[in-house]
Amino acid sequence: MQEAPKGPSPFRYCGRTFTEAEVETIRGLSDNPRYETRAEIARAVCAALHWVKPDGQPKVVSCHVALQRMEAHGVIWLPLPTRAPVRPRPPRRTAAGEPPAPITGSRGDLQDLRLVPVTSRAESGLWNELVDRYHYLGRTQSAGAQCRYLAYDGDRVLAALGFGAAAWRLAARERYIGWTDAERQAHLHEVVQNRRFMVLPWVAVRGLASALLGLAARRLPADWLERAGYRPVLLETFVERERFRGTSYAAANWVHVGQTRGRGRNDRQGRGGQPIRDIWLLPLDRRFRTLLTDGRLPALPSTGGRSR
């Protein structure tokens, strides 16, 4: 049997607090010779702790990451990995990702503007290539539910958008919603983050960016319901202050609620050093505060944002 480490309790990993009893359950499962691989242990832990997504599917990826961090901190022992980690390959460069002739004008000049959900391998390859080549942050792999879109006018690709899981903690967002910490943990999955939004560099169409944000806000709830099993009620995004003003988000009725503190996702010591970003939110349901606070009606906050 594993010896319990000396240290603080409860333990917190991947957005979940594990009690002493739950950690003992995990130790028992990782010691059980029935489970020979880390993947088998992760699935067993999800089943034992009922760690599931809103659609009832086990959160195996999050559990796998949590187990690895527990092992790194000496909380549990795991069997050696059965295979080396696979590094993602950079997207292929194709003719479809090469700059065409410039596309200019205004939103009214586009006769067939639409968002196409990325569902096929070909669409995924094009989305990855465009974001990797032309977005200043590049492409990153993310776990959990996500929706990606390519924007077209006819057969001309104009932009790429990506949505995924929300930030775990965000002070300005928490104030705007008015939820308690327990409510945040229970309902955070109903907040979705716009992680990538890129109008391609050869496209200069007035009013296009805000129009695309509006299209995405209208169709995302149904697409997310189909993929994840529930409807989100609030969108969030970050806009790097030194690069962008957030004009398109303002024009699409997003609300500026504050700024980040310049801390990265894994900055536990408050060292900062990350770019300051504006925080923008968009309610997808007028009842979002009630829905995110289990029917409680929090006091309406001051956004702390700037005038438009």
Sole residue written with tokens 């390519």? 150
pTM to 2 decimals?
Answer: 0.76
How far is it, in rounded angstroms, from Cα 231 to Cα 291?
A: 11
> For residues 248 and 297, which has the higher predicted lDDT (pLDDT)?
248
How far is it, in rounded angstroms, from Cα 226 to Cα 228?
A: 6
Looking at residue 5, what DSSP letter applies? P
Judged by DSSP in three states, 27 sits in: helix
Two structure tokens written together for 16 = 């979940």
According to the per-residue pLDDT averaged within each range, which of 31-35, 228-232, 247-251 is highest?
247-251
pLDDT single digits (tens) 50-106: 999 888 889 998 898 899 889 888 889 898 887 766 666 777 888 888 999 999 999
**Architecture of the 105-292 domain:** 3-Layer(aba) Sandwich (3.40)
Q: What is the pairing mode between strands 191-199 and 234-240?
A: parallel
How far is it, in rounded angstroms, from Cα 84 to Cα 204?
A: 45
For the chain, where do the domains classified as CATH 3.40.630.30 start and end? 105-292
pLDDT of 5: 45
How far is it, in rounded angstroms, from Cα 295 to Cα 290?
A: 5
Comparing C-alpha atoms, which of 9, 208, 30, 206 is closest to residue 114? 208
Comparing C-alpha atoms, which of 164, 90, 86 is closest to residue 130? 90
pLDDT of 280: 97
pLDDT of 304: 52
How far is it, in rounded angstroms, from Cα 304 to Cα 172?
A: 8
Q: What angle separates helix 60-72 from helix 20-31, to the nearest 10 degrees?
A: 90
Chain-centre distance for alpha carbon 83: 28
Using the predicted structure, report yes or no on whether residue 269 has a pLDDT greater than 50.
Answer: no
Mean pLDDT on 37-51: 94
User: Could you check whether the bond before residue 298 is cis, i.e. omega within 30 degrees of 0?
Assistant: no
How far is it, in rounded angstroms, from Cα 307 to Cα 230?
A: 33
- pLDDT range class, residue 271, cuts 50, 70, 90: low
How far is it, in rounded angstroms, from Cα 60 to Cα 24?
A: 19
Mean pLDDT on 17-28: 91
Using the predicted structure, report yes or no on whether residue 300 has a pLDDT greater than 90.
Answer: no
pLDDT of 77: 87
pLDDT single digits (tens) 205-246: 999 999 999 999 999 999 999 988 899 999 999 999 888 889
In angstroms, the first-to-last Cα distance of the chain is 61
Element (H, E) at 42: helix 38-49
* Complete DSSP assignment for 238-282: EEETTT---HHHHHTT-EEEEE--S--TT-SS----SPPEEEEEE
pLDDT of 10: 58
Two structure tokens written together for 193 = 């983050």
- pLDDT range class, residue 4, cuts 50, 70, 90: very low
Cβ-proximal residues to 270 (8 Å cutoff; 6+ apart), any chain: 263
